Chain A
Amino acid sequence: MYGNAYIDPNDKAAQMIAGEDPQKLAEFEARIAKGEKIEPKDWMPKEYRKQLVRMIEQHAHSEIIGALPEGTWITRAPGFKRKLALMAKVQDEVGHAQLLYSAAETLGKSREAMINDLITGKSKYSNVFNYPAFTWADACIIAWLIDAGAIINQVANAKGSYGPYCRALDRICTEESFHLKYGHDNVVTLATGTPKQREMVQAALTRWWPPIMHFFGPSDKISNHTEILMRWKVKMASNDDMRQQFLNMYVPKIWDLGLTLPDPNLKKNAEGKWEYTEPDWDEFKRVVNGDGPCNAERLAVRRNAEERGRWVREALNTTESKYIVPLA
């Protein structure tokens, strides 16, 4: 579901292409400008590889950690059909992690190294999953609106330049369309239900609105650095543009259900742009850096899963196994 790219703003544009062969760089950029994809064994600038690994890896971690807040409600989903659907959705998310780890691996970082960086807290994942799903309605809001945000991001990235990432995203987006419909159906059921159900879904929406506004990240500074990443089709849209697109598509649908959003300044202005109260980016940074309500639990659960499964993986391993980087 959930890709949310952080590009380190401290990296300087000049450093990005320092030491690269100018002819190879020109050929590489010409290929991208023609709309052709880059494949794993092609020559690529070091910085292109580095940023893609970071981005795809974070996306993969987000899928696997995102399964935790939603998984919270599997045992208590209201009814058998809802339980089946939620299990299928959570399983999809874990599958998406596998697809994304595979794409990142083609760039030369092993899956073991990525998992190690996740469980030690070195790599990040989408910040929204550091918040708890207090009620069933929270799980419904996540399925609808967080997945909606993720789709906007993923559809944009699927037009990027790196072949394996695009292929993974195409598969992922197909499955996400089920998540979105499923989430919408859940929210509509609550919003058109009993007063108690409406109250639940309104409370969940109010709780999740700040993390949703954080979802696409802070405004990007338009630097030479981001310009290069856009030219290389690593970054496909600015964070603000994606946030605008999200608001444009979903705020009317939310208001349609008679639900309210906890931002008195939220409105579409005369130029068709959405105005809103600037999200609390200090809180965002604090939570990204580990001090959110669920960060510690999420990583402890992940470490526990790796540790308790280790003997099975070791027992199955054969001495003749030999790792080589996957082809595509």
Chain B
Amino acid sequence: MIKSLDPRITRAEIDLENPIDPLKELDQWETYEVFHQKRRGDQHMHVGIVHAPNAEMAFIFAKEQYGRRGLSVNIWVVKTRDVYSSEYDDSDIFETVPEKQYREAGGYKVMEKINKYKKGV
């Protein structure tokens, strides 16, 4: 038995030689992605994952892990396997988006024309 400086460990009566069976697959459960909202009106932000056997436990762990400090008003948890995501390798699908200036306010410059018109009058 371990005689530890930590009285809690001494009380637990632990053998120093205590081989155990290795943890099996899913011993630590599957994962949930956690989304956290700081204040009402803010977006929920992805903050990380927790391992949990079900959504209720995922929420409890998410509160402990990601709501420990600062402000929180709301948390969502979603099974990782239920998230459908794009691949980084396919990020060229977004490539032409910034070029489409005709969809941006900055794509329309009228002052030049107005000034030119005024000069001409």
Answer whether A300 and B5 are a contact pair too, CB < 8 Å, given A313-B27, A323-B26: no
Are B30 and A324 interface neighbours, CB within 8 A? yes
The reply to whether A306 and B8 form a contact with Cβ atoms under 8 Å apart is no
Contact code string A98-142 (vs B, CB < 8 Å = 1, else 0): 110010010000111001100110000000000011100000000
A43 to B31, CA, bound (A): 23
Contact A323 B87 (CB under 8 A): no
Are B16 and A322 in contact, with the CB atoms below 8 A? no
Contact of B8 among A41, A75, A99, A307 (CB under 8 A): A75
Contacting pair B16 A115 (CB below 8 A):
no
B73 at the interface (CB under 8 A from A): no
CB-CB under 8 A from A83, the residues of chain B are none
A199 at interface (Cβ–Cβ under 8 A)? no
The reply on A328 being an interface residue by CB < 8 A is yes
Beta-carbon contact of A300 and B15 below 8 Å:
yes
For the complex, is A18 an interface residue (Cβ under 8 Å from B)? Answer: no
Q: Does A301 lie within 8 Å of B14, measured CB to CB? A: yes
Which of B7, B14, B68 contacts A95 (CB under 8 A)?
Answer: B68
For the complex formed, measure the closest distance between the CB of A304 and the CB atoms of chain B, giving whole angstroms. Answer: 5
Q: Is A207 an interface residue (CB 8 A)?
A: no
Counting chain B CB atoms within 10 Å of each CB, which of A112, A132, A134 scores highest? A112
Task: Encode A73-111 as 1/0 by CB contact (under 8 A) with B.
Answer: 011100000000000000010010011001001000011
Flag whether B74 is at the interface (Cβ < 8 A): no
User: Across the interface, which residues of A come within 8 angstroms of B83, CB to CB?
Assistant: 327
Partner of A168, one of B6, B48, B51: B48
Q: A269 an interface residue at 8 Å Cβ cutoff?
A: no
B80 CB within 8 Å of chain A: yes
* Measured CA separation A42–B90 after assembly (Å): 11
Query: CA of A23 to CA of B79 in the docked complex: distance in angstroms?
Result: 36
Contacts of A310 in B (CB 8 A): 27
| Partner among B5, B18, B31, B57 whose Cβ is within 8 Å of the Cβ of A303 | B18
Q: Is the CB of B20 within 8 A of A306?
A: yes
A127–B37 Cα gap in the complex (Å)?
Answer: 38
B23 at interface (Cβ–Cβ under 8 A)?
Answer: yes
User: What is the CA–CA distance of A280 and B23 in the complex, to the nearest angstrom?
Assistant: 37
24 inter-chain pairs at a CB distance below 8 angstroms, sorted by A residue, are: A41-B88, A71-B6, A72-B6, A72-B9, A76-B7, A95-B65, A98-B51, A99-B48, A112-B22, A112-B26, A116-B22, A133-B5, A167-B48, A175-B69, A297-B9, A307-B18, A307-B20, A316-B54, A321-B30, A321-B53, A324-B31, A324-B80, A326-B33, A327-B85
Binding site for B on A (CB under 8 A): 39, 41-43, 68, 71-72, 74-76, 92, 95, 98-99, 102, 105, 110-112, 115-116, 119-120, 132-134, 167-168, 171, 174-175, 296-297, 300-301, 303-304, 306-307, 310, 313-314, 316-318, 321-328
Residues of B within 8 A of A (CB): 2, 4-9, 12, 14-20, 22-31, 33, 46-51, 53-54, 57, 64-65, 68-69, 80-81, 83, 85, 87-89
